[in-house]
Structure 1
Amino acid sequence: MAQQDTIERVDSGCHDTTVGLVQSPNKSAEMIRAATLPALVENLTRHDKLDGAFNRTFLVTYKYFTSGAELLGLLIDRFDCSPPPTETEEWSTQTKPLIQLRVINILKQWLEHFWSEPKGFDTDELLQRMQSFAERAAETPTQQLNVIIQRRLSGNAYTKRSHLSISNPPKPILPRKLDKLQFIKIDAKEVARQLTIMEASMFNKLQREELLHKNWQKSTTPELAPNIQSLIRYSNQLSNWVCATVLAESELKKRAQVVDHLVSVASNCHQLQNYSAVISILSSLESAPIHRLARTWAMVTERSCNMLRPLQAMILSAQNYQAYRETLRVTVSPCIPFLGLFLKDLTFIEDGNPAVTAEGLINFHKYTMLATTIHEIQRWKEAPYCLQSVPELQDYLATQLQSAAEIHEMWDKSCELEPKGRGLGNRPRDLYTPTGGMSASMVVACMVLDD
């Protein structure tokens, strides 16, 4: 267990700076566990230390424990701080200018990368107040700050330049007739590529603010997390489509061939590090309507069974999905992670940790965990996939996904294809046994839309 200390640091003479500190396991760094709001702002603008991780956590999560107007007021107070009674002239000539520079830099970071204030009169008033401060603080480097404020006032948000791939994408593997597409005749690798392009486009639109306050669960205000809801809807549609595609084949041999093809698609998605699609496909193959098709599974090829086993092992729920988390930990971008597990983690952090400690301090440890998880999600947007879109294939896949019925509506169709009680005849059943919902439960547990 980490050693916890409470220290008092005073360098401005303005604030109550009692801060709860917990040392990291290697004893080489301090992590703020709890503090008053003024103390957090002081740590944000320390003259003697620049803590980028703390600054990022604070700016990502500040809306949990303060408002934009209050934060600006505290930063201005910090800029105008008076020396402690015991300080000498050296404080005014060396320490205070560094504090003021930190304040300006934090304002720039806030505006450029972490601005989450809603559009409206109050926000414009906040920006105008910030502009007045910047003009008053002209003796410090504020020219760039003024430019950023003007950009925000005009409604032009800062946009991060996208990383352009310098590699040439692989040539698409096209079916002979693009105007008469059939799933079984589309190369599995190309299906995986197009599904990955489609989902990556949605994933890259995900905004940090959508991940705060469990916004994705608030169905009455979908505008708070539109991209998360799109991703959830897409994952559910992909699972529904997989199930519907298998059950659409009335002939046993062809139905097994469809399962073979879907397994190959999942394997190719895994090679592309599109773990989200892998989990959606496997959740459907292990759903009740497909799991019960013993005669179909008996005809699935040994090759497909061998491909399925490591994929299934990766998403086992044992030890809080440790195998999947370890896979993700060592993965290098580009990658599409399964968002549902992150949403589950964020919900656990939100619900399982109080906002305020027993001492009445802001529980900053909670917000550090939230910010760390959000940063983990955001970092997968850094590198793009080098793949070529095929509009005809994407249109076909999008239409199929959107028209598929819900999995829970397919039980009767499954029972019609393989009535209960029918045996396997002479066909062996020892190649592969689906678990019947291990990965499906992962999707159901994580992909929640309603509060």
Structure 2
Amino acid sequence: MASMGFTRVIWVGEAIGTSRVTPDFANLAELLQDAEFGPFKLPSRWADDENEDEHVPQRAIDWLEKRAIAHVPETICTLDASQYLVMRTREDSSKPPEVRGGPRDALIVHATEHTASVLYQEAFLVTYRTFISSHDLINKLITRYVYMSMSSDRASQSAARLSFSVLVRVVDELTNYELSEALVHTVTSFVYRLIHEGNLIYARLLRKRLLDRIVTPKPTPVTVSKLTPPRKPYTLFDFRSSDIACQMTYIDSQLFHLIEPPELLWWAQEQDELKSPNLVAFTEHFNNVSFWVRTLVLSPATAKEREKYLMKFIKIMKQLRRLGNFNSYLALLSALVSSPLSRLDWSKTVTDALREHIDVMDTSHSYKNYRILLQQSSPPTVPYIGVVLQDLTFVHAGNSDKLPADRCGGRRGLVNFLKRWHQYAILDSIRKMKRWNYDIKRDEKLLCFFDSFSNFLNEEETWGRSHEIKPTNRKKPL
């Protein structure tokens, strides 16, 4: 018997998949190597709208009064914003130039233009919160719609329709955190204006989308069993490893699908739990499962029983890996290689069985082994969200929010949209994973056994139990 010679793993994350925006990057490092700023095609005109204070929220506009749009910013109401944008020219002239940045309002207008690529529109809708709030964006889109709808020419009417289409998408993808009283008032005031103008189709559509976001029922906790606990408690060995893995995957998949892209963006920038409740629930679940596993392995009185539990969890890990559930897979692995367990004496059978799994989370080369494994897995999959957060944090910290002035004719304050392309590449891989669902039915007996993974020893208690099993030789300080 010998102590496990494990290198302690630092747990941070999930892999990037293929994005339809950028080429198929194997990892983030390769993506960032493609992040050169030139060659640039600078704007033919410079907008002054970036002098606005971005941090001052706009007042909800009374859309029944025409004077509300008497003084509109020039850029937000222009038909073509391309003259304000910084573009990246391509060697292949047959391909259109890519948006690299520009004034905030010009980027908004471009998202409503029929000449904009679908990829740009998607990237804009996923990442706009990094440079403008949803409420401010809604105000600007309504301003643009009202201004354009007052003209009868085809180009203006088309711009109004496209602005409304983007507005509906923005409202449809609002998070609970964003549904403030002021935002709801802004949208409902606009709905009343549409009704007043006789545009009942648009009014019904927008009202329905807003109500769908407001009255969305809170999902029932997926970890809670409907069964009464049995008189004789279940044990881990009452269930097959494959069944345990399936129910863990059922829970993880449900929690994963609740996470919204803005939660990931916000967390990478602010770590605000109020803005990212579903992400927080997912990461807390990961931690609870990990401590639950530690507790079950450490609790038995004999080394033989402890090893029996550990080998059972290794079997469960193999099933989780087969299912593509890397969240619980890594929660179990993090428990089995944690210091309170790895300091104990284990047989060679145990150490050999764990070695192949430890290699998966080798931290060198930005978790290359894990990323390859995830890309090779057939959907559906549940990623380990920590690597996603690491990648988003890396992009946020390593790239300026604004384009460098020395590359833009000395102009400052132009939004660096290249940074948003990188963020979208990461988030789009998550959205693709969420398109798939597992065909797994609830097993109430197993959920009852899991008991929401709430019965576990904390960090201090697991260390205490570990030292009870194998006391240290160090003398206590006087």
TM-score tier (shorter):
0.7 to 0.9
- The code of the aligned residue for 2:334 comes to S
Q: What's 1:125 paired with?
A: 185
Residue 183 (structure 1) aligns with: 236
Q: Provide, for residues 303-337 of structure 1, a one-character-per-residue CA deviation record: whole Å limited to 9, x for no partner.
A: x835x444322221111001211222343322111
Counterpart position of 1:60:
126
Instruction: Give the Cα separation in 2 of the matches to 1:184 and 1:107.
Output: 54
CA offset at residue 338 of structure 1?
A: 0.4
Give the TM-score normalised by the residue count of structure 2: 0.71
Structure 1 residue 378 corresponds to structure 2 residue 431 = yes
- Partner residue, 2:41: 6
1:223 match: secondary structure:
coil
- Residue pairs, 1:44-443, within 5 angstroms: 44-47=111-114, 49-68=115-134, 70-76=136-142, 78-79=144-145, 95-114=155-174, 118-131=178-191, 134=194, 144-152=201-209, 154=211, 179-214=232-267, 218=271, 222-294=273-345, 296-300=346-350, 305-306=352-353, 308-358=354-404, 359-398=412-451, 401-419=453-471
Aligned position for 1:428: none
Indicate conservation of the 8 Å contact 1:289/1:414, yes or no.
yes
8 A contact 1:215–1:224 mirrored in 2? no
My pick for the range that moved more, 193-202 or 124-133, is 124-133
Gaps of 5+ in 1: 83-90, 160-176, 422-451
Change (3 A) 1:233 1:393: same
Alpha carbons of structure 1 residues 281 and 25: separation in structure 2 relative to 1, 3 Å: farther
For 1:392-449, what per-residue CA distance to the aligned partner results, in whole angstroms no more than 9, with x for missing partners?
A: 21121135x312112453234223323558xxxxxxxxxxxxxxxxxxxxxxxxxxxx
Contact 2:361 2:370 (8 Å CA) reproduced: yes
How has the CA–CA distance of structure 1 residues 229 and 73 changed in structure 2, closer, same or farther, with 3 Å as cutoff?
A: closer
Change (3 A) 1:117 1:201: closer
C-alpha displacement of 1:188: 1.1
Change (3 A) 1:179 1:287: same
Q: Would the aligned equivalents of 1:333 and 1:382 in 2 still touch at CA under 8 Å?
A: no
Checking the alignment, whether the CA contact within 8 Å between 1:116 and 1:209 is kept in structure 2 is no
The aligned residue for residue 69 of structure 2 is none
Aligned length in residues: 386
CA contact (8 A) 2:103 2:415 kept: yes
Contact 2:168 / 2:209 at 8 angstroms: preserved in 1?
no
Q: Which residue of 1 aligns with 2:20?
A: none
Deviations 1:125-148 (A, max 9, x none): 31134325645876xxx6543223
Q: Using the alignment, how far apart are the partners of 1:412 and 1:26 within structure 2?
A: 65
Q: 1:261 to 1:153 in 2, by over 3 A?
A: closer
* Maintained 8 Å contact 1:189/1:268: yes
Does the residue aligned with 2:274 lie in a helix, a strand or coil?
Answer: helix
Structure-2 change in CA distance of 1:24 and 1:254 (3 Å): farther
CA contact (8 A) 1:273 1:335 kept: yes
Provide the aligned C-alpha RMSD in A.
3.4
AA of the residue aligned to 2:137? L
In structure 2, distance between residues paired with 1:122 and 1:331: 44
Question: Structure 1 CA distance, aligned partners of 2:96 and 2:284?
Answer: 42
Seen in structure 2, the aligned counterparts of structure 1 residues 180 and 16 have a Cα distance that, compared at 3 Å, is: closer
Higher relative contact order (CA 8 A, sep 6+): 2
- The whole-number CA distance in structure 1 between the counterparts of 2:176 and 2:438 is 28
Tell me the secondary structure at the aligned position of residue 166 of structure 2: helix
1:9 to partner: Cα distance: 6.4
> Alignment partner of 1:242: what SS?
helix
Deviations 1:371-393 (A, max 9, x none): 33233223322222111221121
By how many angstroms is 1:250 displaced?
Answer: 2.3
Separation of aligned partners in 1, 2:314 and 2:110: 52
Distance (Å, rounded) in 1 between the aligned partners of 2:138 and 2:277: 29
Deviates more, 1:327-336 or 1:195-204: 327-336
Distance 1:285 1:372 in 2: 33
Task: Give 1:168's aligned residue.
Answer: none
**Conservation of the 8 A alpha-carbon contact between 1:188 and 1:265:** yes
Give secondary structure in 1 for the equivalent of 2:100.
Answer: strand
- The alpha carbon displacement at 1:288 in A equals 1.1
Closer, same or farther in 2 for the Cα pair 1:403/1:126, shift >3 Å? same
Q: Structure 1 vs Structure 2: percent identity of aligned residues?
A: 20
5+ residue gaps, structure 2: 1-33, 46-76, 217-229, 405-411, 474-478
